Amino acid sequence: KSNEEIDFGNGEFQQLVAYIGHDGERYTEYMEFYIDEVKPENMVARTWTGINIQEWNSFTPVATTLKEVTGSHYLYIKWGDATNLQKIELVKDSVWFENPDCGVVYEDVQPSENAVMFTTTGENGATEGTDINQGIQWEVIKPISGDARCEGSNIGYTKAGVVVAYKGIDFKDNYYKKVFINASCEPSYIGSTIEDANFTLYTDLNDIDWGNVTNLEELNAALEGREPVAVVRAQGTGNWSNKLTTAGDLDDLSGIHDLYVVYNLPDRDNIGANIYGLYLDPGENPQSIKENILQGNGIEVRGHGNRATIYTDTDTHVTVYSVNGTTITNMNVKGGVTLIDNLNSGIYILKATDKNGKTTTKKFIVQ
């Protein structure tokens, strides 16, 4: 926080320049600037401070656009990582080249509360085991690297071409709609698109003679002509402890199948990825919503597009709040399905009160 209020005048300042120093390049490092209080609506500038600078105390100016600010305010600076800051300048004319944004886009999405999770937990060094969540068997089918094995909570020592199978998963009747994979990868960057690096999922590859698959070319030949049921982006997360989740659509599947995950990673430097959880998610599947309500939850709400859909088993009074407590809507809804339109992107809280006075609170996101 600045020692005293800063006079921003009548909004004539165009840029904010931060003089920074550190050692190296970090893809997740940002510095944020706020007035009066550190909260989202008070942010006036944000700049990537993880650019490749090699000296802590040789300060480099990085400039970014400043939102229009008038009057006098305290300035708050929020660090995202270790960076030395020498000074801040406010510039009235846009004379500085803008600091670039980080070219690495990290994705972290979350499955719904109805998702089913599968893991590859087991004894260290094992190449097969039993998932502790669903009780199914998993197996490293043919590790191209020869080293892929369990590390207790995940399969480690992986690289391009590793294949892991989850045996006997019940997909019900087209119940699951998406696949989520929670993983980590020490490099910060292994590809910006799903084509660059991914986990490709297949079912029922039992007819492949895995004993004759000893390299990537033979694996690709064995998979030729077979359609995957899902493709999920793989990404570098910066370090092994930084777990992030990506997702992909799942083809319609019914009944019990073995699910195979093929690691399609860059074939260089033995780049691998640790998968900590694979989730099958019914998502907006009406059957999953109906089942959840029948289990006694009473009400469900899902955000999508610029609207929310409310599912309830009885007439209910509903109030929707923004994350900062502002009332968005206050209404009585009938049992069944109700739509709320024209919602901005953000996090919302729904409070529902039934005719018996029972209150239920739900959080939902509109993207």
Tell me, yes or no, whether 277 lies in a domain: yes
Last residue of a domain, one of 252, 281, 310: 281
- Provide the pLDDT for residue 284: 63
Residues 246 and 358 in one domain: no
User: Do the domain assignments include residue 200?
Assistant: yes
Among 219, 247, 221, 218, smallest CA distance to 232 is for 247
Does residue 109 lie within any of the structural domains? no
- Quote the number of domains for the chain: 3
Are 131 and 19 in a shared domain? no
Note the pTM of the prediction, 2 decimals.
Answer: 0.65
Q: Is residue 104 part of a domain?
A: no
Give the burial class of 147: count Cβ atoms within 10 A of its Cβ; 0-12 exposed, 13-18 middle, 19 or more buried. middle
Residue 74 lies inside a defined structural domain of this protein: yes
What is the number of helices (H) and of strands (E) in the chain? 2, 27
Residues 275 and 202 occupy one common structural domain = yes
Looking at residue 298, its pLDDT comes to 72
- Provide the token pair at 14: 């165009």
Distance CA 228, CA 97 (A): 45
CA 30 from centroid of its chain's CA atoms: 18
Same domain, 276 and 228: yes
Residue 239 lies in domain: 116-281
Identify the pLDDT of residue 295. Answer: 55
Q: What per-residue confidence (pLDDT) applies to 325?
A: 76
pLDDT for residue 309:
83
Phi and psi angles of residue 40, each rounded to the nearest 5 degrees, phi first: -50, -45
Q: Which of 75, 91, 107 is the last residue of a domain?
A: 91
Q: Got the DSSP string for 171-184?
A: EEETT--EEEEEEE
Q: Specify the CATH number for the domain of residue 138.
A: 2.60.120.260
Task: Output the CA–CA distances (angstroms, integers) from residue 294 to 152, 169, 287, 317, 347, in the order listed.
Answer: 37, 24, 10, 19, 26
Q: Are residues 78 and 146 in the same domain?
A: no
Same domain assignment for residues 249 and 157 = yes
Residue 311, H or E segment: strand 307-312
> Both 71 and 153 in a single domain?
no
State which amino acid sits at residue 293.
I
261, 281, 301 — which closes off a domain?
A: 281
Does residue 206 sit in the same domain as residue 135? yes
List the pLDDT tens digit at each of the 367 positions of the chain.
999 999 999 999 999 999 999 988 877 789 999 999 998 889 999 999 988 888 899 999 999 999 999 999 999 999 988 899 999 999 998 889 898 888 777 888 889 878 999 999 989 999 999 998 889 999 999 888 889 999 999 999 999 999 999 999 999 988 899 999 999 998 878 877 889 899 999 999 999 999 999 999 999 999 999 999 999 999 998 889 889 999 999 999 999 999 999 999 998 778 999 999 999 998 766 566 556 655 555 788 877 767 888 888 788 899 998 877 788 999 998 888 888 888 888 888 889 888 888 888 888 888 6
